[in-house]
Protein backbone atom coordinates (compact mmCIF):
# COMPACT_ATOMS: atom_id res chain seq x y z
CA UNK A 1 0.00 0.00 0.00
CA UNK A 2 1.15 3.51 -0.79
CA UNK A 3 -0.63 6.83 -1.00
CA UNK A 4 -1.29 9.33 -3.76
CA UNK A 5 -2.18 12.98 -3.20
CA UNK A 6 -4.61 15.04 -5.21
CA UNK A 7 -5.96 18.58 -5.35
CA UNK A 8 -8.39 20.92 -7.08
CA UNK A 9 -7.34 23.55 -9.60
CA UNK A 10 -7.01 26.37 -7.02
CA UNK A 11 -5.23 24.01 -4.60
CA UNK A 12 -7.53 24.98 -1.70
CA UNK A 13 -8.74 21.40 -1.37
CA UNK A 14 -6.20 18.60 -1.10
CA UNK A 15 -6.59 14.94 -0.29
CA UNK A 16 -4.72 11.70 0.09
CA UNK A 17 -5.84 8.24 -0.96
CA UNK A 18 -4.40 4.78 -0.38
CA UNK A 19 -3.66 3.07 -3.67
CA UNK A 20 -3.87 0.99 -5.77
CA UNK A 21 -7.56 1.49 -6.59
CA UNK A 22 -9.99 -1.39 -6.29
CA UNK A 23 -11.40 -0.45 -9.68
CA UNK A 24 -10.37 2.14 -12.23
CA UNK A 25 -12.62 2.88 -15.18
CA UNK A 26 -13.78 5.36 -17.75
CA UNK A 27 -17.49 6.07 -17.82
CA UNK A 28 -19.15 7.40 -20.97
CA UNK A 29 -22.65 7.80 -19.50
CA UNK A 30 -24.43 11.05 -20.26
CA UNK A 31 -24.35 12.12 -16.60
CA UNK A 32 -20.58 11.76 -16.41
CA UNK A 33 -20.19 13.60 -19.71
CA UNK A 34 -22.26 16.51 -18.38
CA UNK A 35 -20.55 16.54 -14.99
CA UNK A 36 -17.04 16.53 -16.44
CA UNK A 37 -17.60 18.44 -19.67
CA UNK A 38 -15.55 15.69 -21.28
CA UNK A 39 -16.19 12.60 -23.40
CA UNK A 40 -15.94 10.40 -20.31
CA UNK A 41 -15.24 10.42 -16.60
CA UNK A 42 -12.10 8.69 -15.32
CA UNK A 43 -12.78 7.29 -11.88
CA UNK A 44 -10.83 5.27 -9.34
CA UNK A 45 -12.69 3.52 -6.52
CA UNK A 46 -11.47 2.87 -2.97
CA UNK A 47 -13.13 2.01 0.34
CA UNK A 48 -14.01 5.19 2.18
CA UNK A 49 -11.56 4.57 5.03
CA UNK A 50 -8.70 4.67 2.49
CA UNK A 51 -9.39 8.33 1.80
CA UNK A 52 -8.83 11.54 3.78
CA UNK A 53 -9.10 15.23 3.11
CA UNK A 54 -5.88 17.11 3.92
CA UNK A 55 -7.01 20.72 3.47
CA UNK A 56 -10.11 22.67 2.47
CA UNK A 57 -12.79 20.13 3.35
CA UNK A 58 -15.07 23.04 4.31
CA UNK A 59 -14.99 24.18 0.65
CA UNK A 60 -16.23 20.85 -0.69
CA UNK A 61 -19.76 21.12 -2.05
CA UNK A 62 -21.90 18.06 -2.79
CA UNK A 63 -24.62 17.52 -5.35
CA UNK A 64 -26.85 14.45 -5.39
CA UNK A 65 -28.73 14.23 -8.67
CA UNK A 66 -32.36 14.03 -7.43
CA UNK A 67 -33.71 11.62 -10.05
CA UNK A 68 -30.71 9.29 -9.87
CA UNK A 69 -30.35 6.30 -7.60
CA UNK A 70 -26.62 6.78 -7.23
CA UNK A 71 -25.25 9.70 -9.19
CA UNK A 72 -23.53 12.36 -7.10
CA UNK A 73 -20.57 14.65 -7.38
CA UNK A 74 -18.53 16.97 -5.23
CA UNK A 75 -16.58 20.00 -6.30
CA UNK A 76 -14.54 22.87 -4.92
CA UNK A 77 -16.81 25.84 -4.20
CA UNK A 78 -13.93 28.19 -4.98
CA UNK A 79 -12.68 26.95 -8.38
CA UNK A 80 -15.41 24.52 -9.43
CA UNK A 81 -13.12 21.54 -10.00
CA UNK A 82 -14.58 18.11 -9.56
CA UNK A 83 -13.33 16.36 -6.43
CA UNK A 84 -13.67 12.89 -4.90
CA UNK A 85 -17.09 12.04 -3.47
CA UNK A 86 -18.45 9.27 -1.30
CA UNK A 87 -21.14 7.00 -2.65
CA UNK A 88 -24.61 7.53 -1.19
CA UNK A 89 -24.36 4.41 0.94
CA UNK A 90 -21.13 5.85 2.34
CA UNK A 91 -19.02 2.77 1.64
CA UNK A 92 -16.79 3.91 -1.22
CA UNK A 93 -14.95 6.98 -2.45
CA UNK A 94 -14.97 7.79 -6.14
CA UNK A 95 -11.78 9.58 -7.19
CA UNK A 96 -11.85 11.67 -10.40
CA UNK A 97 -8.35 10.68 -11.44
CA UNK A 98 -7.62 13.94 -13.26
CA UNK A 99 -7.36 15.55 -9.81
CA UNK A 100 -4.42 13.33 -8.79
CA UNK A 101 -1.00 14.95 -8.44
CA UNK A 102 0.80 11.61 -8.13
CA UNK A 103 0.72 8.33 -10.02
CA UNK A 104 -1.71 6.00 -8.26
CA UNK A 105 0.05 2.97 -9.70
CA UNK A 106 -3.28 1.68 -11.05
CA UNK A 107 -4.25 1.84 -14.70
CA UNK A 108 -7.79 1.93 -16.14
CA UNK A 109 -9.19 -1.55 -16.69
CA UNK A 110 -12.58 -0.98 -18.22
CA UNK A 111 -14.89 1.35 -20.08
CA UNK A 112 -18.50 1.45 -18.92
CA UNK A 113 -21.55 2.92 -20.63
CA UNK A 114 -19.70 2.55 -23.94
CA UNK A 115 -23.13 2.45 -25.56
CA UNK A 116 -23.76 6.03 -24.37
CA UNK A 117 -20.56 7.50 -25.79
CA UNK A 118 -20.74 10.84 -27.60
CA UNK A 119 -21.11 10.48 -31.38
CA UNK A 120 -17.93 12.54 -31.84
CA UNK A 121 -15.83 10.45 -29.48
CA UNK A 122 -12.59 9.45 -31.19
CA UNK A 123 -10.07 6.97 -29.87
CA UNK A 124 -6.80 8.71 -28.91
CA UNK A 125 -4.77 6.27 -31.00
CA UNK A 126 -6.36 7.80 -34.12
CA UNK A 127 -5.45 11.39 -33.24
CA UNK A 128 -2.41 13.57 -33.94
CA UNK A 129 -0.39 14.18 -30.78
CA UNK A 130 1.48 17.35 -29.77
CA UNK A 131 3.57 17.56 -26.58
CA UNK A 132 2.03 20.99 -25.89
CA UNK A 133 -0.40 23.35 -27.60
CA UNK A 134 1.13 23.95 -31.05
CA UNK A 135 1.67 27.57 -32.11
ZN1 LIG B 1 -10.43 24.74 -5.79
ZN1 LIG C 1 -21.04 7.70 -15.67
Mean per-residue pLDDT of the chain: 97
Tens-digit pLDDT profile for residues 60-71: 999 999 999 999
Sign of the alpha-carbon torsion through 48, 82, 30, 123: negative
Q: How far is the CA of 28 from the centre of ligand 2 (A)?
A: 6
Helix (H) or strand (E) holding 62, with range, is strand 60-64
Residues 6+ apart with CB under 8 A from 87: 70, 72, 93, 94
- Give the confidence band of 1 by pLDDT, cuts at 50, 70, 90: confident
> Mean pLDDT, to the nearest integer, of 19-43?
97
Which residue in 81, 77, 72, 87 sits closest to 57, CA to CA? 77
Residues in the chain: 135
Q: Are 101 and 39 in contact (CB under 8 A)?
A: no
Q: Which ligand is nearest to the CA of 8?
A: 1
Domains of the chain, CATH where assigned: 2-118 (3.90.1590.10)
Cα gap 19→108, rounded to integer Å: 13
Cα gap 52→49, rounded to integer Å: 8
Q: How far is the CA of 36 from the centre of ligand 2 (A)?
A: 10
Q: How far is the CA of 120 from the centre of ligand 2 (A)?
A: 17
Residues, beta carbon < 5 Å, ion ligand 2: 27, 29, 32
Amino acid sequence: MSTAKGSCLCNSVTYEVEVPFERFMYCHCQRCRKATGSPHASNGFVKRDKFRWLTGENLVRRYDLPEAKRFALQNCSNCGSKLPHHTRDGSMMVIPTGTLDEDPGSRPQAIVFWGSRAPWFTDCSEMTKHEEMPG
